[in-house]
Amino acid sequence: MVPLVAVFVCGGAISPFATADDQFEIGKEKAKVCMTCHGENGISSIESYPNLRGQKMTYLITSLKSYQSRERSGGLAVLMHQQADALSEQDMEDISYYYSTLGSDNSN
């Protein structure tokens, strides 16, 4: 008998057997809240908001954790504090994976 391995999402966590395609789609879904300010494809139409498309995954995770811990402050950081507070570590990884894999083409 051959055991079956199920790939599933439960409570926002990715199964260790999830593929890169799965993580991309999960990250894309979770990133919908980011798109209001950072643009549908990670390119912000608001000059003072950073583009997320093509950023390195580690940089994005570190930034989100810095907002969550209040190490980043000033300006509009209070908006990001609220957003980061709502994210688990897995959420941060999924969202960061999504934006990092979009590439760095900054065209709309």
Residue 70 within any structural domain of the chain: yes
Based on DSSP, count helices (H) and strands (E) in the chain, helices before strands.
Answer: 5, 2
Domain assignment present for residue 9? The answer is no
pLDDT score for 62 = 98
- CATH number at 72 reads 1.10.760.10
In the chain, the number of structural domains is 1
30 occurs within a structural domain: yes
The 10s digit of each residue's pLDDT in 44-98 is 999 999 999 999 999 999 999 999 999 999 888 999 999 999 999 999 999 999 9
Q: How many residues does the chain have?
A: 108
Domain range holding 84? 20-100
Give the per-residue pLDDT at 17: 58
